[in-house]
């Protein structure tokens, strides 16, 4: 571990070194044992109280600026990786076969540890030099959360009391993205991410020879009709000002060209930015499927597995992130963001406490691969940007205005 001081130069080197270390040791959701231990080790070195869980991975760190009073701000970082074989040929390439930090969680871990380093240094200076002009009240709780990709890992942390003792008042998070140029950041005003639910529809008919269609009940024809009908839900049942998606990505039926199969299985995803639109989509999918089943004389079973709810930023906290970003980056490099129809299990934190998440650009000619790609990588200049913005937002919130 780097035991040098926390000058900007040393911090920058440390951030890159730390991010690459985590990148080399990716672990899947709820299996992040090495990652958990390493985060806990770094926090302990920084004299930050560490809480681990007996029955799951993940770390909670607590840094107190004042005992027993003042607000508590939570900082969340997801720590898991994806089941992807990395194709990058870098010195810090994944050492774990078929596992890769392809969504930037190694950067998120590093950024929040960087914030911990800067705040820990500030606290040490305050304790040794009482002439410091800034006075913070309250505490910072670091929430290193497992299993964002295949979770949720956030809700089990909440269930185990991660937001209590002291009670967290608000939560901040950030996510890197190659969709924004390096040196740019964006903050969603309110709607950040959509819900993400899984859909499976099983159609059971009557199999037979393709030459006698009149005595079969063709699940393929029914499935084709159903796919077309499902698309009318978004275009005709949902307010056109409300983003929504129903996508069928898998259609499996039959094994031979001259045989009508007995069964067809459709799988897809359902996305919405609003809770009420999400429920409306679920209801109409079931109704449309039932109608197609009756018309085509087949049995239709609809299974909807709820995944992550919509992630909705608290507007006041989103504004605080925006203002902190302009202080660090200048207003020309900060924008209000359009929401994403990706899903994020930060949504569970955002439903538990007023929260906001922002996006930090890492894209360039060299780093243009999309997240979840085997060649995804980031412009590491984003690490220090993320640290500085989140530290500024924490400072603005905890600083004594009296």
Tell me: the pLDDT tens digits for 36-88? 999 999 999 999 999 999 999 999 999 999 876 799 999 999 999 999 999 99
- Spell out a b/e string for 340-357, using b for 16 or more CB atoms within 10 Å of the CB, else e: bbbbbbbbbbbbbbebbb
- pLDDT at position 126 is 63
> Dihedral, CA atoms, 18, 23, 28, 32, nearest 10 degrees?
-20
Domain 8-194+310-398 belongs to what topology?
Aminopeptidase (3.40.630)
- Classify domain 196-308 by CATH architecture: 2-Layer Sandwich (3.30)
Asked if 102 and 82 count as a contact pair (C-beta separation under 8 A), the reply is: yes
Q: Determine how many CB atoms are found less than 10 A away from the CB of residue 397.
A: 20
Q: Which of 193, 262, 308, 397 is catalytic?
A: 308
Residue 6, pLDDT > 50, answer no
pLDDT band at 391 (very low <50, low <70, confident <90, very high): very high
- pLDDT at position 8 is 58
- pLDDT at position 134 is 66
Asked if 246 and 237 count as a contact pair (C-beta separation under 8 A), the reply is: no
d(CA 225, CA 219): 10
- Spatial neighbors of 298 by CB under 8 A, at least 6 apart, are 203, 204, 205, 217, 218, 219, 222
pLDDT band at 9 (very low <50, low <70, confident <90, very high): low
Residue 401, pLDDT > 60, answer no
85-138 per-position pLDDT tens digit: 999 999 999 999 999 999 999 999 999 999 999 999 988 776 554 444 468 899
H-run or E-run covering 198 = strand 196-204
Q: Let me know if 86 is a catalytic residue.
A: no
d(CA 115, CA 174): 12
Q: Which of 200, 335, 380, 384 is catalytic?
A: 380
Residue 400, pLDDT > 90, answer no
The rounded mean pLDDT for the chain is 94
Distance of CA 129 to the CA centre of its chain: 39
What residue ranges do the domains of the chain occupy? 8-194+310-398, 196-308
Tell me the CA distances in angstroms from 233 to 79, 276, 308, 344, one per residue in order.
36, 14, 21, 24
- pLDDT at position 130 is 47
Residue 2, pLDDT > 90, answer no
Place of tokens 């906290």: 317
Residue 152, pLDDT > 70, answer yes
Mean pLDDT, residues 262-269: 98
- Spatial neighbors of 274 by CB under 8 A, at least 6 apart, are 191, 242, 310
Mean pLDDT, residues 159-185: 97
Residue 311, pLDDT > 50, answer yes
Task: Give strand pairing partners of 208.
Answer: 260
- pLDDT at position 132 is 45
Residue 21, pLDDT > 50, answer yes
Reading the block at residue 184, the tokens are 């740019």
Mean pLDDT, residues 174-197: 97
Mean pLDDT, residues 247-262: 98
Spell out the long-range contacts of 124-128 with Cβ–Cβ below 8 A and sequence spacing 24 or more. 124/47, 126/65
Q: Let me know if 332 is a catalytic residue.
A: no
Instruction: Give yes or no on whether 8-194+310-398 and 196-308 have one common fold.
Output: no
């Amino acid at each position: 571990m780097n035991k040098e001081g926390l000058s900007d130069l040393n911090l920058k080197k440390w951030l890159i070194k730390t991010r690459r270390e985590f990148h080399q040791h990716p672990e899947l959701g709820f299996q992040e044992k090495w990652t958990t231990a390493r985060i806990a080790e770094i926090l302990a070195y920084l004299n930050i109280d560490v809480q681990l869980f007996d029955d799951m991975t993940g770390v909670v760190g607590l840094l107190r600026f004042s005992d027993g009073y003042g607000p508590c701000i939570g900082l969340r970082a997801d720590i898991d990786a994806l089941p992807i074989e990395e194709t990058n040929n870098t010195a810090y390439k994944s050492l774990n076969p078929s596992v890769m930090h392809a969504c930037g969680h190694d950067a998120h871990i590093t950024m929040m540890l960087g914030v911990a380093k800067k705040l820990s240094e500030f606290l040490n200076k305050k304790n040794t030099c009482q002439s410091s002009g800034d006075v913070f009240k309250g505490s910072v709780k670091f929430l290193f959360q497992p299993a964002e990709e295949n979770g949720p890992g956030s809700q089990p942390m909440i269930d185990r009391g991660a937001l209590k003792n002291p009670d967290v008042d608000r939560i901040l998070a950030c996510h890197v993205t190659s969709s924004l140029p390096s040196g740019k950041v964006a903050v969603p005003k309110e709607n950040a991410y959509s819900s993400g639910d899984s859909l499976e529809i099983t159609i059971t008919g009557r199999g037979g020879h393709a030459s006698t269609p009149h005595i079969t009940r063709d699940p393929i024809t029914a499935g084709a009709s159903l796919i077309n009908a499902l698309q009318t839900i978004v275009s005709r049942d949902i307010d056109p000002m409300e983003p929504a998606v129903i996508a069928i990505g898998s259609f499996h039926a039959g094994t031979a060209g001259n045989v009508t199969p007995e069964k067809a299985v459709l799988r897809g995803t359902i996305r919405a930015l609003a809770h009420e639109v999400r429920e409306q989509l679920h209801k109409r999918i079931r109704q449309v499927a039932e109608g197609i089943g009756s018309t085509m004389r087949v049995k239709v079973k609809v299974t909807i597995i709820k995944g992550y709810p919509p992630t909705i930023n608290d507007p006041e906290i989103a504004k605080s992130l925006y203002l902190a970003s302009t202080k660090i980056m200048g207003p020309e490099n900060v924008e209000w963001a359009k929401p994403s129809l990706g899903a994020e299990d930060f949504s569970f934190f955002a439903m538990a406490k007023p929260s906001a998440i922002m996006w930090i650009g890492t894209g360039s000619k060299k780093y243009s691969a999309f997240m979840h790609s085997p060649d995804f990588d980031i412009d590491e200049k984003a690490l220090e940007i993320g640290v500085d913005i989140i530290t500024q937002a924490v400072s603005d919130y905890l600083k004594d205005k009296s």
